[in-house]
Chain A
Amino acid sequence: MTSTADATGIVSTPMNRVEGIEKVTGHATYTADVVVPGTTYAVLVQSEIPHGTVTVESLRASTERALAAPGVLHVLTPLNCPALHAPPPQMSDDLPLERRPPLSDLTVQHVGQHMAVVVADTLENATAAAASFELAYETASPQLSAREVLEDGAGAGDRDGEGDGAIRHGVYQPDHFVKLEDEKLQDRRGDDDEPAGAARVSATYTTPLNTHYPIELSATIAQWDDDVLTVHDTTRWITGERMALAAYLGIPEAKIRILSPLVGGAFGSKSFLWMHVALCAVAAREVGRPVKLVLTRDQMFSSTGHRPRTEQHLSLVADDAARILSTEQHTLTETSTVAHFCEPVGLSARFLYDSPRLVVSHTVARINYPTPCFMRGPGEAPGLFALEVAMDELAYASNVDPMELRLRNDTDHDQASGKAWSGKHLRECYLQGAERFGWGDRPMAPRSLHRDGLRVGWGMATATYPGRRMPASCRVTTDATGKVRFASATHEVGTGVRTVMTQVAADAAGLDVAVVGFDSGDSLFPDAPYSGASQTTATVGSAVHQAATEWRKRLDDMGGHLDRLTPGQLETLNFTTTSDGAADGGPVSQSFGAHFCEVTVDEEIGRVSVTRWVAMMDCGRVLNPKLARNQVMGGITFGLGMALLEQVPYDVHTAQLIGEYYLPTHADRPEFDIGFVDVPDYGLDPVGVRGIGEIGTCGVPAAISNAIFHATGKRLRDLPITLENLLKPFDDESDPGGTP
């Protein structure tokens, strides 16, 4: 593939974000900021039990009471909600789109399930009326964990005659991850039996429920003009949401317009179609006025996906030169009773280290808990936690430096497919990262380092994340003044896509950035896939690059001077192109990186501080170093939360949300030193990029756990690592600052 000649010096420059001034002056418009005249307000009523049936009497009584409350315009419940259609199997089989439309029956499948929507003239009136709901239930015994499902005698299929196949129980083992047939969730290679080897590590690792917690609450504004529906929504899947919404509502896609100009963070949420969006559209149709629905923060835990729990059993066997002979990673995870999702934990183990024998399995249990979905680094984040801690354990079992162990087991091709990598510079990441960190001075033994009465530890981990690319389209419009705008139905969620696409377009079209613009966030723009899977730069970048290259070619074919064109000629500079996804049979694209971190541990009060962090990333070409650095620092901070702070707290008896979900604050993050290998990889796309949005998080929890081991000698395999794990007994008076 051809490369983009960096003739104009636009790519690889730290250009400021194009929407920066709007964001710092409060003039940036997010979904909930859109003012639609005549807007009414919708508030959800959600179930408070995990499993059972709501009584008709209580629905009727609550509805009556709410309708009589001040300002209430309408109440939707399972008793009166117009029937919605189930999505077709090709949508719900692989993706966490709920098979059972909302408000379609009286059963309750999880705490937080939508039971009613109250619409009123003001937010205060809608909130008060919704709070007046008192629902009664016939409770049924819930299954609240995968272990419980297995103990109950796991079997696929329905139970209690519930549902029609939309509601399912038991366990299953999916073949591959979403629609990616090569990303096998049940995989093996090599001998049947695990070899003896010289060193063996075998342990269980667990990760808890995590939630995305974008600061922006999910919001939807739906309005109908006759039979045309306009939806402002905090979505990163405009194209797919239009398709899914059309399916649930039973109307043509052409009758739906979706707008999402800026998204206030997603991290995996705000994709797919979440049920409250469909309900908002229905409510708007019933009320005959625009309806605005903003989820509360508590509702964000149950209504827009989350990362499910994982329990991973991982075994590594190595020979006496610390070369891996066998890797086994078996994952037990969870989804809801009404949608499919499998956290693809074991995918990295298939290829990350040279391992002749491999067994990977995933078992998913359907429990009475809300539907999970992708969360930053789906699979990689929890899977690399276990794999990279296990590698650290193997390093100690083999008496080999942890980074040396990685180098010895580095691969030069993708073992899962047998193909070459489109580009791989992981060795440079290890070596340059280690150099910058000072890893060479690391004493192997735990509890060797201390400073100011605190234990000090250094840990490292490998990071990896796929480079993906899907088809996308891009439109170009040129005006008579010479301004050229590119547009695609992608989404600015904070990744800087609008800025980077401006750079790519200007560079490929040979234009000054000042005359180039990039628009996103409208389904009227040409299609783009969901903004996730770190694929946007490669995907939309390919479309933009293709459009800009074509634009330059057309202009050059007409003499190369915009100001000398006839109107007819100018019109030929308005067009739409479509670029392909990754080539079938092409090389495998993967980004790689290495994390090195220092922690201090105060064992008397159980406090861990992550003090400094070095990350070297191989993500292909870096289009904007300022944005890329910010993205990686953000990813590391996200991983720090996963390691030390985050678990969705819920009461084991009632499955209710309980207490606060802690995120890292300003005071929690380390000092950062971020570097990029910055070698373009044209194997995936003509721009030379692979994704960057998620790799920063991958491997972070393991690096922290490994550093804590180095500091304290405590091997911690369950996240989050908390104070109780680190506190030393009061009667243990060994000097924290001296010899162990």
Chain B
Amino acid sequence: MKTFEFEHATTVDGAVDRVVATGGKYYAGGTNLLDLMKGGVEAPTALVDVRRLGLREVTATESGGVLIGSGVTNSALANHPLIRSRYPVLSQAILSGATTQLRNMATVGGNLMQRTRCPYFMETAFAQCNKRNPGSGCAAKDGFNREHALFGASESCVAIHPSDMAVALAILDATVHVHGPDGRRDVPIAEFFRSPGDEPQRDNTLRAAEFIVDVELPPSPFAEHSWYLKVRDRHSYAFALVSVAAGLRVEDGVISAAAVALGGVAPMPWRVAEADAGLIGQPPSDAVFRRAAERIMAGARPLGQNGFKVDLGKHSVVRALTTALRVT
């Protein structure tokens, strides 16, 4: 890889200033960025290392929620007592991803910022990749697209976002707090990722040099009944073909809160309001879950090789909801 400037930042403002000044990138665990640099996909002129900024705390908020520093490692987050007891679906989602070694290195901020693993993006020998090289075309549309999007894609790009953690954050209504040259912004998780549209090179709505400081979760109704189901080609250590984060609250035999999000099918976690709404007020049953599955998969636009994800997704939603219900 090409050489680069490297320095450890000591304050958030300082980190932002250095990224603005150098045009470089933030560097935390590096499990994705360093990999992309080895492959020549990313070639930042400077890396601003953010691992000495602290930002490693998980603390309870006054409103009964939790505040998660962006520097918390995936492992530390998944194993934190507050998360295990109050947001177990987040713990389970994180633990489904990658391997322990990688989870020990990767941070919360980095997990949100990771790029797609579309092989045409990852390998510079493929000339056609609009995400990596805007205007060059998209080889996946008519090529190998077994692992690509059913929703939220565009003519320019059909890649998915691979994060498991984000799918759980989606049903937990997380808010991402960022800090940039123009100060602080709060970005609801549903607005963090973006469809490629005409600018597939932008995965998310962050502005130039904005830095994720922490992620806040409100109190969750799903502590008792939630499940993260990940379906993949081998039993562990593979990206999702389809994944589902499902949360339910049942009171007096009726669903009083529900949220379902899909991973592996879009450039962002995929939630459908009608699917969630359709569960509320219903007694939990196979028929009710099947209806939610149909609703969340409505409007799926399969490509040449990923059509199986439609039925797989529906089955998986029913399975995740059923399993969530049965958690004791």
Chain A interface (Cβ < 8 Å from any Cβ of B): 48, 124, 127-128, 131, 604-607, 609, 644-645, 649, 651-654, 656-660, 662, 664-668, 722-724, 727-730
Which parts of B270-328 form the interface with A (CB within 8 Å)? 293, 308, 310-312, 314-316, 318-319
Cα A438 to Cα B56 in complex, Å, equals 54
* Contacting pair A658 B123 (CB below 8 A): yes
Nearest to B231 among chain A residues (CB) is: A605
Q: A652-B143, A659-B119, A730-B315 are in contact. Are A606 and B234 (CB under 8 A)?
A: no
* Contacting pair A723 B237 (CB below 8 A): no
* Contacting pair B237 A651 (CB below 8 A): no
In-complex Cβ contact of B234 among A645, A652, A657, A729 (8 A): A645
Number of residues from B at the complex interface, CB < 8 A: 32
* Contacting pair A723 B312 (CB below 8 A): yes
Q: Is B144 an interface residue (CB 8 A)?
A: yes
Q: How far is the CB of B213 from chain A (nearest CB, A)?
A: 33
Cα A644 to Cα B234 in complex, Å, equals 8
* Contacting pair B235 A729 (CB below 8 A): no
Cα A25 to Cα B312 in complex, Å, equals 45
Q: Is B40 an interface residue (CB 8 A)?
A: yes
* Contacting pair B2 A658 (CB below 8 A): no
Q: How far is the CB of B233 from chain A (nearest CB, A)?
A: 6
Known pairs A127-B1, A723-B231 / 13 extra A-B pairs, C-beta < 8 Å: A604-B318, A606-B312, A651-B126, A651-B139, A652-B143, A653-B139, A656-B125, A658-B119, A660-B238, A665-B235, A665-B236, A667-B234, A724-B308
Q: Is B101 an interface residue (CB 8 A)?
A: no
Q: Is B3 an interface residue (CB 8 A)?
A: yes
* Contacting pair B315 A604 (CB below 8 A): yes
Cα A668 to Cα B238 in complex, Å, equals 12
* Contacting pair B311 A667 (CB below 8 A): no
Q: How far is the CB of A376 from chain B (nearest CB, A)?
A: 19
Cα A605 to Cα B243 in complex, Å, equals 11
* Contacting pair A664 B1 (CB below 8 A): no
Listed by A's residue number, 13 A-B pairs whose Cβ atoms lie within 8 Å are: A131-B2, A604-B316, A644-B234, A651-B144, A652-B143, A652-B144, A654-B126, A656-B125, A658-B143, A667-B236, A723-B308, A727-B311, A730-B293
Chain B residue contacts of A605, Cβ below 8 A = 229, 231, 312, 315-316, 319
* Contacting pair A668 B235 (CB below 8 A): yes
In-complex Cβ contact of A662 among B123, B144, B234 (8 A): B234
* Contacting pair B238 A662 (CB below 8 A): yes
* Contacting pair B119 A730 (CB below 8 A): no
Chain B residue contacts of A651, Cβ below 8 A = 119, 126, 139, 143-144
Chain B residue contacts of A666, Cβ below 8 A = 236
Chain A residue contacts of B293, Cβ below 8 A = 730
Nearest to B144 among chain A residues (CB) is: A658
In-complex Cβ contact of A128 among B2, B139, B234, B318 (8 A): B2
Nearest to A605 among chain B residues (CB) is: B231
* Contacting pair B235 A128 (CB below 8 A): no
* Contacting pair B40 A131 (CB below 8 A): yes
Q: How far is the CB of B215 from chain A (nearest CB, A)?
A: 29
Q: Is B120 an interface residue (CB 8 A)?
A: yes
Q: A127-B1, A653-B143, A656-B125 are in contact. Are A668 and B308 (CB under 8 A)?
A: no
Q: How far is the CB of B297 from chain A (nearest CB, A)?
A: 9
Q: How far is the CB of A482 from chain B (nearest CB, A)?
A: 47
Q: A658-B119, A727-B308, A727-B315 are in contact. Are A665 and B234 (CB under 8 A)?
A: yes
Q: Is B95 an interface residue (CB 8 A)?
A: no
Chain A residue contacts of B237, Cβ below 8 A = 665, 667
Chain B residue contacts of A645, Cβ below 8 A = 233-234
Which parts of B122-136 form the interface with A (CB within 8 Å)? 123, 125-126
Instruction: Bits for B213-251, please: 1 = Cβ < 8 Å to A, else 0.
Output: 000000000000000010101111110010000000000
Nearest to A609 among chain B residues (CB) is: B235
Chain B residue contacts of A127, Cβ below 8 A = 1
Cα A729 to Cα B290 in complex, Å, equals 13
Cα A398 to Cα B233 in complex, Å, equals 35
* Contacting pair A606 B231 (CB below 8 A): yes
Cα A644 to Cα B319 in complex, Å, equals 23
Q: How far is the CB of A657 from chain B (nearest CB, A)?
A: 7
Q: How far is the CB of A153 from chain B (nearest CB, A)?
A: 28
* Contacting pair A730 B234 (CB below 8 A): no
Cα A649 to Cα B120 in complex, Å, equals 12
Q: How far is the CB of A400 from chain B (nearest CB, A)?
A: 34
Cα A121 to Cα B34 in complex, Å, equals 22
In-complex Cβ contact of B144 among A604, A649, A723 (8 A): A649
Nearest to A658 among chain B residues (CB) is: B119
Q: How far is the CB of A144 from chain B (nearest CB, A)?
A: 14
Nearest to A641 among chain B residues (CB) is: B234
Cα A437 to Cα B315 in complex, Å, equals 33
Q: How far is the CB of A472 from chain B (nearest CB, A)?
A: 40
Chain A residue contacts of B139, Cβ below 8 A = 651, 653
Q: How far is the CB of B42 from chain A (nearest CB, A)?
A: 13
Chain A residue contacts of B231, Cβ below 8 A = 605-607, 723
In-complex Cβ contact of A664 among B119, B234, B241, B311 (8 A): B234
* Contacting pair B311 A662 (CB below 8 A): no
Chain A residue contacts of B144, Cβ below 8 A = 649, 651-652, 658-659
Cα A660 to Cα B123 in complex, Å, equals 12
Q: 5 closest A-B pairs (Cβ-Cβ)? A: A667-B235, A667-B236, A604-B315, A730-B314, A659-B119
Cα A124 to Cα B1 in complex, Å, equals 7
Cα A200 to Cα B171 in complex, Å, equals 56
Nearest to A650 among chain B residues (CB) is: B144
Cα A606 to Cα B232 in complex, Å, equals 9
Residue of B40, B126, B147, B233 with most partner-chain A CB within 10 A: B233
Q: How far is the CB of A369 from chain B (nearest CB, A)?
A: 16
Cα A659 to Cα B145 in complex, Å, equals 11
Q: How far is the CB of A61 from chain B (nearest CB, A)?
A: 18
Chain B residue contacts of A727, Cβ below 8 A = 308, 311-312, 315
Chain B residue contacts of A657, Cβ below 8 A = 123
Q: How far is the CB of A650 from chain B (nearest CB, A)?
A: 9
Chain A residue contacts of B233, Cβ below 8 A = 645, 662, 722-723
Q: How far is the CB of B39 from chain A (nearest CB, A)?
A: 9
Nearest to B315 among chain A residues (CB) is: A604
Chain B residue contacts of A728, Cβ below 8 A = 311
Cα A128 to Cα B3 in complex, Å, equals 8
Chain A residue contacts of B123, Cβ below 8 A = 656-658
Cα A436 to Cα B241 in complex, Å, equals 37
Chain B residue contacts of A656, Cβ below 8 A = 123, 125-126
Chain A residue contacts of B314, Cβ below 8 A = 730
* Contacting pair B319 A604 (CB below 8 A): yes
Nearest to A663 among chain B residues (CB) is: B234
